[in-house]
Structure 1
Amino acid sequence: MEFHHDTAQLNTPHIFNFAECLHFLDRGYDDCLYTIEGKAVLKPLRIGKEQGLIKISPRSDTLKVERIAGELNLTKATQYVTEWFDLKRELQPFYQLLDQHEQFSWMSTRYHGLRLMGIPDLFEALCWCVIGQQINLTFAYKLKRRLVENYGSFLKHDSTKHYFFPEPEVLAALSVESLRDMQFSRRKAEYIIGIARQFVRGDFSKQQLQNQETYQQMVTQLKTIRGVGDWTANYVLMKSLQKMNCITYGDTGLQSAVSSIMNLDRKPTRSEIENFFKPFRGWESYLNIYLWRKLS
């Protein structure tokens, strides 16, 4: 990794394709927490008390990370990008598994270099899961934008507001009715405010979750949170803690992709999904991501 004032060159792994990662980020859902500009992505970052706006773009075998606004520490910014793009993971073992099975082998070519695009902020990941429960993605992103633009802070650059996800302290102080006015269901409003209050009180944190010894212990701890079931727990562990053995049971997109590959005319059962993923033990999260990619 090389630094030059406001720019860093971040080495990328052998199996990496920025265009595939950008495609996953830019699926037409109007995300309000980053901006796609041509072949680059702009991302506002708040790390501790520092905040800034970075621009990430590809070079031949590196990613160029530019600090274009704010006073954010560039080393911390590159660490965030490394986690966001899951750059430390060696994907060759996963690709070898794909190539061993005819029904999956095409993925290693068609989606070559796609990475598990994370949500490093656990609070954001939990809230996003609650927002997306039992509604289509288009409406979920609309609700997310309303929440962020009403209660998140922003950094202004070239007359454009770049938003940060609302802080737990802000959402913890809300009333249920304030979210109901933005078309959140009463239950979702209660869940989000409840999660925020747990974070404010220190009852829950990413560090506490990471301290659990096993995946099952992490799932169990997450499910103590009101509004968190199997789907949310697995999504959060996959996207925020980068656990590799997660399957988003109950996810309609996953069910659709599995049904298509299995040539079913119905939704697969949980048992069928478990058997479907068995050959990819230890890489379930990546297969999950590649199946989602199949839908777009």
Structure 2
Amino acid sequence: MEKIQVEGPYNFDLVLDRLSIDPLNQVDHVGRSVKVPMLLNCTPVVGKVKAIGTTEAPEFLIEGTDGPFKEKAAERLSEIFQWNLPLETIHQHFQNTDLKPIFDKHYGTPIVLDFDPYGCLLKCIIHQQLNLSFAHTLTERFVKAFGFEKEGTWFYPLPERVAELTVEDLRELQFSGRKAEYVIGIAREATSGNLSFEQLKNLSDDEIYDKLIKLRGVGPWTVQNFLMFGLGRPNLFPFADIGIQNALKKLFQLEAKPTLHEMENFSKSWNPYLSYASLYLWRSIE
């Protein structure tokens, strides 16, 4: 067990609220903890992160990561939970914008990454053009059918496993034929080495966009969400996202969803933290 302290503000209870939206995440609200599945050097490791501090003075206990992967697990957990990012700087930036009310209400909410970049990209593909409830149901079916479990925690199926599937295998779970092709195709790209998630981490947003947009089934919305929740990039604003459009309509009391021109005007003052503007807008309607 390891105890760590991070710079506040950091509201872990709001983190758990958002993580609990996904039924695959093992969240314990009462115990203020979550289990995190990690593949470290191809070895499955389950780390448990438990909050024992406050929003202003965040402190955590880390369990389950002792052993040969302790250092690598600590590094990955810090990356997932964005513990090295000073949220107070971002909060102060938005105090002079029209998003001040929702940043005050959701004070100290970080962007938390999906637990695995590969799983994040697959989830983005599965979630395309589905309502959130069925998107999570379909993802859960996929993971529990072809992934694996350790210590009560589910891991996304490995690329090698998905690459061997047929479209019919996924159609049985209620995937569309085309979406099944996309998921299998991405797994095959990862298995062949054409798509390396470790290499993606070292590329710029534009370079990642140019690489991923060539994959079947990957559009701008998918790339933007992957950059935000797969890699933690801070300055993405998915203009086509319906949730963000609805949040802006509510916030600014618009009669209709905002146009692209209106959204561009709204977002000018939010740069260079557009990803946080996106997150807090989503939070405002969740």
CA distance in 1, matches of 2:115, 2:64: 19
Aligned residue runs from structure 1 range 1-296, under 5 A: 7-27=1-21, 29-30=22-23, 32-38=24-30, 39-60=32-53, 61-67=58-64, 73-101=69-97, 103-156=98-151, 161-212=152-203, 214-296=204-286
CA distance in 2, matches of 1:93, 1:35: 28
Deviations 1:7-45 (A, max 9, x none): 111221222111111111123x42x14333522112233
Deviations 1:231-290 (A, max 9, x none): 111100111121111112321111100111222222222222222211011100011011
CA distance in 1, matches of 2:109, 2:26: 18
CA distance in 2, matches of 1:63, 1:272: 41
**TM-score (normalised: structure 2):** 0.92
- Letter paired with 2:87: L
Identity of aligned residues (%): 31
User: Is the partner of 2:111 in helix, strand or coil?
Assistant: coil
**TM-score (normalised: structure 1):** 0.89
- Letter paired with 1:114: T
CA distance in 2, matches of 1:123, 1:207: 10
CA distance in 2, matches of 1:72, 1:55: 17
CA distance in 1, matches of 2:46, 2:68: 8
| 1:99 to partner: Cα distance | 1.0
Query: Where in structure 1 are there 5+ consecutive unaligned residues?
Result: 1-6
Moved over 4 A (4+): none
CA-based RMSD: 1.8
| 1:82 to partner: Cα distance | 0.8
CA distance in 2, matches of 1:256, 1:58: 32
User: Is the partner of 1:106 in helix, strand or coil?
Assistant: helix
Assess if the C-alpha contact under 8 Å between 2:103 and 2:280 holds in 1: no
How many residues align structurally?
281
User: Is the partner of 1:267 in helix, strand or coil?
Assistant: coil
Assess if the C-alpha contact under 8 Å between 2:6 and 2:83 holds in 1: yes
| 1:110 to partner: Cα distance | 1.4
| 1:134 to partner: Cα distance | 0.5
Q: Which deviates the most, 248-257 or 196-205?
A: 248-257
User: Is the partner of 1:83 in helix, strand or coil?
Assistant: helix
Assess if the C-alpha contact under 8 Å between 1:52 and 1:72 holds in 2: no
Assess if the C-alpha contact under 8 Å between 1:155 and 1:163 holds in 2: yes
Assess if the C-alpha contact under 8 Å between 1:148 and 1:164 holds in 2: yes
**What is the aligned partner in structure 2 of residue 4 from structure 1?**
none
| 1:181 to partner: Cα distance | 0.6
CA distance in 2, matches of 1:196, 1:33: 22
CA distance in 1, matches of 2:210, 2:26: 32
Assess if the C-alpha contact under 8 Å between 2:19 and 2:25 holds in 1: no
| 1:108 to partner: Cα distance | 3.1
Deviations 1:99-121 (A, max 9, x none): 112x3222332111111011252
User: Is the partner of 1:13 in helix, strand or coil?
Assistant: coil
